Amino acid sequence: MPQRSNWQINRPIEYPYEAPPPQRQVAYIFDVNKCIACQTCTIACKTAWTSGKGQETTFYNNVESKPYGGYPLAWDSKLMEGLGPARWKEKSLVSLTIFETDGPKNPPHGWRPTFEDYSSPNLGEDDLSGAIERGDEIGPTHPHWMFYLARICNHCDSPACVAACPRKAVYKRDEDGIVLVDQERCRGYRECVRACPYKKVFFNTIARASEKCIGCFPRVEQGEVALCVEGCIGKIRMHGFRTTQGAPREDNPLDYIIRIRQLALPLYPQFGTGPNVFYVPPVHVPDGFLEQVFGPGVEEAKELYRSLNAPENRRLLAALLLFGASNRIIDRFDVEGNEAVGWDLTGTEVARIPFTEHTYVREAFEKNLGVYRHNTT
């Protein structure tokens, strides 16, 4: 079986196909610290792409609460039960990925969700890591935590769905790395549903074919961000392209945040697929849990996030300010004075965000009208 490099786990993996990386790779950064689980992203996606009959349980985008939530139910812990705990030596993965666990005569290690697994999308929502004891509410913080994890297809570097399909009906596009199920060719074997570690391929019971997050490819082809990104009211998301041919670019916001500053980390890199949604880890959550979910580098990322106001991190802060700043994909960014500026793929300026927003102080007494202002109505 050919070997493919995987920079996230710092070692090659066994993969059924040999293929060069795409020309550029669609990628996303989600700042977990800013997500409030309003599910606007979920609805934006669902309304646009999966509101048909047979797609009732299909959520290309979902937001779940960690540690207890997950859609489909316990999608990650069920897989990890079979894989065993991830073992890292520094930033290199020692344990086996999903491609290696079951040997070359088997498809990637996976599991098959039943309809019960799709029946409780809100189970575990807002649940804390532990019960609040009497007295915990007194004091600045209590020891328990939870956070919201927004999830879409990871358009992986080495997709398990592509590896698992016995008739090559799933493919990764060379122009942007988006992974798609060929809707003409799919015969509904559901091998991709079984193999995808992130469970972002779904079986359509009416169309009798498997369907997955399409990365909003009709929009990406026009240089526009995905609907889940545009719809995000908290501006927690950035969507663009990672450099795959050559060194990461200082002026590309995704390259800069992911590869150069390593503020955003992949989701379960130990699975080995090379996922392309990167998360700024939540700073209030203990390292142990975060390392299981985001791999090594959590502590450094949290520390970096806490020191974004330091002068040496001004460029990083600029990149973060451009989250949700435009419906256009930002390919290049820079700092100009007190502003972060973003340009789209055509070189057109599409965002200019001040580091410090203008503020206006109104006097309590309005001289023109001779009245005092009140903030009550």
Partner 1 sequence: MTDQKFIAALVAGSAIAIGGLVWGAFTFGSAPRSSHAAEAAALVPPGQLDALSRQIQALDSRLATMTGAPTAPGLLSATHTPAEPTEGEILVKWVDSNVPLDPASTTWSMAPITSVALQPQNQAVPMIDQATVTQVRVQAITNGRQIGWRVAWPDPAPNRLVDAARFCDAVAVQLPLKANAAYTMGASGFPVQILHWKALWQQDLDSHFQDVEDLYPNYWTDLYWFASGKFPYHVPESFVRPESRDWFIAYRAGNPMANIDRVASAEELTAEGFGSLTHQPDSVTVARGAWTNGEWAVVFVRPMETVDPDDFQFAPGTRDTVAFAVWDGAASNVGARKQHSQWIVFEVQK
Residues 105-134 that bind partner 1 (CB under 8 A): 105-107, 112-115, 118
Place of tokens 């450094």: 300
Q: Closer CB to partner 1, residue 87 or residue 112?
A: 112
CB of 151 to partner 1, least distance (A): 18
Sole window of 188-196, 298-306, 325-333, 338-346 interacting with partner 1 (rule: CB under 8 A): 188-196
DSSP 60-126: SSEEEEETT--SSTTHHHHHHHHH----EETTEE-S--TTTTT-TTSPPS-----TTTTS-TTTTTT
Q: How far is the CB of 19 from partner 1 (least distance, A)?
A: 17
Residues in contact with partner 1, total (CB under 8 A)? 39
Phi, psi of 157 (to 5 degrees): -65, -40
Interface residue with partner 1 among 14, 31, 64, 191 (CB under 8 A) is: 191
Give the one residue of 36, 94, 132, 206 binding partner 1; rule: CB under 8 A: 206
Q: What angle do CA 247, 250, 254 make, to 5 degrees?
A: 85
End-to-end CA distance of the chain: 71
89 binds partner 1 (CB under 8 A): no
Find the DSSP H helices in the chain.
40-49, 75-83, 160-164, 191-195, 217-220, 227-230, 253-254, 287-294, 298-306, 314-321
Site string for partner 1, 160-179 (x = CB under 8 A): ----x-xxx-----------
Which of residues 199 and 328 has its CB atom nearest to partner 1 in the complex?
199
Report how far residue 107's alpha carbon sits from residue 58's, in angstroms, rounded to the nearest whole number.
23
Q: Which stretch binds partner 1 (CB under 8 A): 26-34, 103-111, 358-366, 368-376?
A: 103-111
B/e letters for 240-249, b = 16+ CB within 10 Å, e = fewer, are bbbbeeeebb
18 touches partner 1 by CB under 8 A:
no
Helix (H, G, I), strand (E, B) or coil at 48: helix
Letters for 28-67 (x = contact with partner 1 by CB under 8 A, - = none) are ----------------------xxxxxxxx----------
Residue closer to partner 1, measured from CB, 11 or 190: 190
State the residues that interact with partner 1 by CB under 8 A. Answer: 50-57, 105-107, 112-115, 118, 164, 166-168, 183-191, 193, 202-209, 211
